[in-house]
Structure 1
Amino acid sequence: MKRFLLPFLLLSEVLLSQVCFSTVDDLSFLVISHLKSASDVTIVAYSIDPEYLGLKSPEMVVEVPVEGAFVHISEGLLHSKFIVLDHETVIFGSANFNRSSLEEHLNNLIVFHSEEIASFFENIYDWLVFGKKPQAQLKTKEGKFFLIPVVDGEKIVLDALWKAKRYVLLCSYAFTDEDVFATLKFLSSRGVEIYIITDEWFESSRLRDFPLGTFHVLEVKEPLMHHKFLVVDGKYLITGSANFTESGFHRNVEVMFETSNREYVESFVEEFDRIWRGYFVQGVRF
């Protein structure tokens, strides 16, 4: 029975968009099983472990040098994380493609099955390797994709925040962006409930010097909290590879995904709730 079940599961993952979280899903299995079934693979990521992934001859662009990959060199980091399979499937999210990121850290990955979305991501590879003009953004039925630094990531986040009427959920590794923080302070003064899950970067940043006021903050100590997402009023979601930092919004090579798709939004609200309630991690609240 198991022989027939695995191909069915893989087929389901390819045909349907799928949101996965390390708190409840095996991200390692998700990535490696898709790679095994693909004949054409393109990877762009900050860090890749080809041996761990069982890669044979993929096209790769990396920030951290690895044998066989094109190494990105520019002012900002290559910080995006995505895989394109057979020109039609994309695995994209907060996780780097190595053992620790997929198995140990708090991360998310979304699987899209769309030639249109795959083409957008393949254009990023062509931009990084061949210098071709990239596509700055893409609007699809799934949501909107934005390429940073071609697009101002901070503006996208701030525009979403100004829609907040009831609450904001912000879950981000290395949250240090002062404009986002100031906007959250203003929203809080208007009665919007602000919930933040972050990591030890926040404790050592300038933001920690400012009064937190009515903010609800959870600083996750372990495992490494590597998510990057924002939910506004349970209606809007922004996620992707960009940390909520000045460099993440303006200098690094990042991909940001914005959507009001109810299934995506609700899945990230549930993930925020899992972490906030301490089902999987230990943290410190302020």
Structure 2
Amino acid sequence: MSQPSWHRDAMDVCVLVGVGQSELYPAQRSSQAELKLGLNLLSGAIHHWPTRESPELFSMKSGVLALLLGLLTACQAPLAQIQSSGQGAADRWDANAPVQVAFNHNPDQRFTDSLGRDREGDDLEGQLLASLEQAQTSIDVAVQEIQVPRLATALIQKHQAGIPVRVIVENQYRQPWSQRLSGNLSDRERQRLENYRQIADRNGDGQLSPAEIAGGDAVLMLERAGVPILDDTDDGSQGSGLMHHKFAIIDRRWVVTGSANWTASDFFGDPGRPASRGNANHLLWFRSPALAAIFQEEFNLMWGDGPSKLPDSRFGLGKPLRSPKSVRIGNTRLLVQFSPTSPRLPWQESTNGTIARYLTQAQKQIDLALFVFSEQAIADVLEARSQQGTQVRLLIDPGFAYRPYSELLDMVGLALPDRDCRVESNNRPWSSPLTTAGAPRLTPGDTLHHKFAVIDRQRVLTGSHNWSAAANLRNDETFLVIEDSSLADRFRAEFERLYADAFLGIPPALQRRVNEAKRRCGSRITPNSNQDLTETED
């Protein structure tokens, strides 16, 4: 049954005054300005309603009463959702802890997500929100995509309180989603747009009112509030490979980073898929002015003098090469490196070269959970370690695991020619195929979005950096090496969760594809000398 117009108007008032913002505002009192705006909308709605009696409104008096009842009804459920969403998240985020990590599929924790579902996991959205709300002096954000309205609201509130807030996003996600035309989008982007619309559709009527758009489009909210925001075209280019960072610097003291974009898909799941529980992700919090200073340098290079002024922002290969930097936080040692690295420089100096160097040091065990793995030289290092007796276990997102350029194929002893009968240059299927490599079983639509390795239960490699040439040579990326056995245990537990029922080895469907390609190509299989820098990454 469709809702009467008075109920829709009342819901709009809830959105505008901040009463029913289950995903937009934390539970709080509305400001006088917001309340005045809501009352003005009430007045306008009353003015345009019919004054004659009708089944809906018997009189102006009963109409006003109906409005108030509708306002109460419309606001009541979302308000309850605010109070439950992220319950306990602030308690689990400790502002004084030097290092902490959260996994959105952690089986040892439960929370109520922004879609009102009680589920397993750490509340990444709620804990990130709690850390932003602690800001006193500054917030700098560099994240590929910001979609969650509650986080935009937190940034706006700090901006309006006089705290400097600056935001950098990838240029593909700079335009407010409400201004995109679905006819020009790919199927993947059209699905994203539908997710955005469902988050904004507060009353679930399938229609987006101006108030719902104004309170549900995170980038539009930031724009209208005057929060400074730019993207990787502000250097005067068409954009770097991808502005793929996922970090925030708070008060030049905390750094928040990890594998998750600030989206529903990466935190708790797609609204349009009831079974979705979110891409497998993690966030890390570090309390360290020294580490914050390293990230601040990266942010400032990209920011330049800010939006719409001189094109002095520096993205991608426009940034100077900087060697990895080391920091100690209590008993935790970190190494930080930012991508990309010019292909004219030695590969060993790049982030992928750093990854290879640390893998070479492994003695007993390497566990890898990767969204993308397409760097041949790293696969060769893993083969060498495996031949020396190091246990290697690998999981790759199912959407990438069995593509022709995936290094999983090498590791299970296969080569899969592409449609042009080409295989990756220097392709080296392992002579002793790995039986401990495969893809995790995930809810349809969700992905394995991690980019981490655990080495000898002591060392964690992680960040936004996918193990690919694109990340290494084109994208703005973060890469961390963390020496901390307790933290390594947390990452290893996440790996074991994913590994427990994974598809390992060669699936029959993959073997059929390989056999068919061999029949189709025959002796025409040739090496592909062009390094693929265009694979889709998130």
**TM-score, normalized by the shorter chain, greater than 0.5:** yes
1:36 equivalent to 2:133? Answer yes
Q: What is the CA-CA distance between 1:246 and the residue it aligns to?
A: 0.9
On the 8 A contact 2:247/2:258 being kept in 1, the answer is: yes
Partner in structure 1 of residue 533 of structure 2: none
CA distance, structure 2, for counterparts of residue 47 and residue 59 of structure 1: 14
Q: Partner amino acid for 1:97?
A: W
On the 8 A contact 1:228/1:241 being kept in 2, the answer is: yes
Partner in structure 1 of residue 336 of structure 2: 145
On the 8 A contact 2:248/2:257 being kept in 1, the answer is: yes
| Structure with more helix by fraction | 2
1:12 equivalent to 2:94? Answer yes
Give the match's secondary structure for 1:84. Answer: strand
Matches within 5 A, 1:138-177: 138-141=325-328, 142-150=333-341, 152-177=350-375
Give the match's secondary structure for 2:393. Answer: strand
CA distance, structure 1, for counterparts of residue 353 and residue 326 of structure 2: 17
On the 8 A contact 2:140/2:250 being kept in 1, the answer is: yes
Partner in structure 1 of residue 434 of structure 2: 214
CA distance, structure 2, for counterparts of residue 182 and residue 204 of structure 1: 18
Change (3 A) 1:75 1:41: closer
Matches within 5 A, 1:217-256: 217-222=437-442, 223-256=446-479
More RCO (CA 8 Å, sep 6+): 1
On the 8 A contact 2:143/2:261 being kept in 1, the answer is: yes
1:268 equivalent to 2:350? Answer no
Q: Partner amino acid for 2:102?
A: C
Matches within 5 A, 1:172-211: 172-199=370-397, 200-206=399-405, 207-210=407-410, 211=413
Q: What is the CA-CA distance between 1:145 and the residue it aligns to?
A: 0.9
On the 8 A contact 2:104/2:124 being kept in 1, the answer is: yes
TM-score, normalised via structure 1 length: 0.88
Give the match's secondary structure for 1:146. Answer: strand
Q: Partner amino acid for 2:336?
A: F
Change (3 A) 1:246 1:185: same
Residues 227-266 of structure 1 deviation map (CA, whole Å, 9 limit, x = unaligned):
0011222232211110111111232111111122212222
Partner in structure 2 of residue 88 of structure 1: 253
- Report how many aligned residue pairs link the two structures: 279
Q: Which runs of 5+ in 2 are unaligned?
A: 1-82, 107-121, 160-164, 176-218, 224-228, 234-238, 269-277, 305-312, 342-348, 414-429, 506-538
On the 8 A contact 1:91/1:109 being kept in 2, the answer is: yes
Deviates more, 1:63-72 or 1:221-230: 63-72
Question: Which structure is larger by alpha-carbon Rg, 1 or 2?
Answer: 2
Q: Which runs of 5+ in 1 are unaligned?
A: none
On the 8 A contact 1:77/1:251 being kept in 2, the answer is: yes
Q: What is the CA-CA distance between 1:161 and the residue it aligns to?
A: 1.2
1:99 equivalent to 2:290? Answer no
| Structure with more strand by fraction | 1
Identity of paired residues, percent? Answer: 21
Among 112, 134, 144, the alignment partner of 2:286 is 112
CA distance, structure 2, for counterparts of residue 100 and residue 208 of structure 1: 25
Among 50, 60, 78, the alignment partner of 2:167 is 60
Q: What is the CA-CA distance between 1:115 and the residue it aligns to?
A: 1.2
On the 8 A contact 2:337/2:479 being kept in 1, the answer is: yes
CA distance, structure 1, for counterparts of residue 89 and residue 103 of structure 2: 21
Q: Partner amino acid for 2:174?
A: P
Q: Partner amino acid for 2:448?
A: M
Change (3 A) 1:14 1:188: same
TM-score, normalised via structure 2 length: 0.49
Give the match's secondary structure for 1:159. Answer: helix
